[in-house]
Amino acid sequence: MKTLTYPFTQAMVRELHVGDMVNITGKLFTGRDSVHKYLHEGNPSPVNLRNQIIYHCGPVVLKDKKTGKYRVVAAGPTTSIREEPFQWQVIRDHGIVGVIGKGGMGPKTLKACQEYGCVYFHAIGGAAQVLAERIKSVDGVYLEQFGSPEAIWELTVEDFPVVVTMDAHGNSLHQQVLDTSQAKLKELIGQGH
């Protein structure tokens, strides 16, 4: 088990490799479909994302009616591949060093990870409670007009568990598993014919 502690740097993420199990401690910014489209269209980010990690997540957030404080009730990853058309550009233009999501991403993102020094971390899809427990505070919210799940939530996390599935060296576990399973499929459907 490796650890990655805030403040993050490009050098830190370049030391990570596919298959590494990592606990992240520090700051994360959620951002999913609307945020990526918004940044891709050239709009300025409401927060400086340089050397930050973006988390593909639409959390369930409740606001305490008395204190006005936010509390994250559930916060697992959402499917990342939808951001494939935009992610490379967000990595390039905003200098993010990590992306957390699920299901992996494609060749454009992999290339950007290699070129600009970024890593794709896979969180466990559906594990919204385990992951919400590792969120220690909600420090801000931006672009709330996109609706609660689509806003940028600034979070502080402790020992947030992820697996590196795409590294800054051009390796993708998703490509490896796809290749293996496609070869197996050929074997399997060759039978019974």
Partner 1 sequence: MAKKSRPKAAAKKIIKKKVASPKKKTSPAKASGDVFSSLLELLRRTSAELPDDIQKVILEALSREEKNTTAEYALKIIQDNIALAKKKSQPLCQDTGTVLFFISHPANFDQIKFADTARKAIVKATELGYLRQNSVNSVTGKSEPSNLGPGHPTFHFHQHKSANVEVRVMLKGGGCENVGIQYSLPYGPIEAGRDMAGVRKVILDGVVKAQGQGCGPGVLGICIGGDRSSGYLESKEQLLRKLDDTNPDKALHELETDIVASCNRLMIGPMGFGGKTTLLGCKICSQQRVPASFFVSISYMCWAYRRQGIVLGKNGAISKWLY
Query: In whole angstroms, how close is the CB of 185 to partner 1 at the nearest point?
Result: 5
The answer to whether residues 153 and 100 touch, using CB atoms and an 8 Å cutoff, is no
Tell me which stretch binds partner 1 (CB under 8 A): 5-13, 38-46, 117-125, 135-143: 117-125
The answer to whether residues 131 and 76 touch, using CB atoms and an 8 Å cutoff, is yes
When the beta carbons of 51 and 172 are compared against partner 1, the nearer one is 172
Using CB under 8 A as the criterion, what x/- string covers residues 143-162 for binding partner 1?
Answer: ---xxxxx----------x-
For the question of residue 169 being annotated catalytic, the response is no
* Footprint on residues 27-66 left by partner 1 (CB under 8 A): 34, 57-60, 62
Closest CA to 173 of 101, 110, 80, 118: 110
Using CB under 8 A as the criterion, what x/- string covers residues 72-111 for binding partner 1?
Answer: -xxxx-xx-x--------------------xxx-------
Query: In whole angstroms, how close is the CB of 87 to partner 1 at the nearest point?
Result: 16
Using CB under 8 A as the criterion, what x/- string covers residues 4-23 for binding partner 1?
Answer: ---------------x-x--
Query: In whole angstroms, how close is the CB of 141 to partner 1 at the nearest point?
Result: 14
The yes or no reply on residue 141 touching partner 1 (CB under 8 A) is no
DSSP-assigned states of every residue in the chain: -EEEESSP-HHHHHT--TT-EEEEEEEEEE--HHHHHHHHTTPPPSS--TT-EEE----EEEE-TTT--EEEEE----BGGGGHHHHHHHHHHH---EEEEBS---HHHHHHHHHHT-EEEEP-TT-HHHHHHTEEEEEEEE-GGG-GGGSEEEEEEEEEEEEEEE-TTS-BHHHHHHHHHHHHHHHHHHTT-
When the beta carbons of 56 and 94 are compared against partner 1, the nearer one is 56
Give the residues lining the site for partner 1 (CB under 8 A).
19, 21, 34, 57-60, 62, 73-76, 78-79, 81, 102-104, 122, 124-130, 132-133, 146-150, 161, 163, 165, 173-174, 176-178, 180-182, 184-185, 188-189, 192-193
The residues annotated as belonging to the active site are: 36
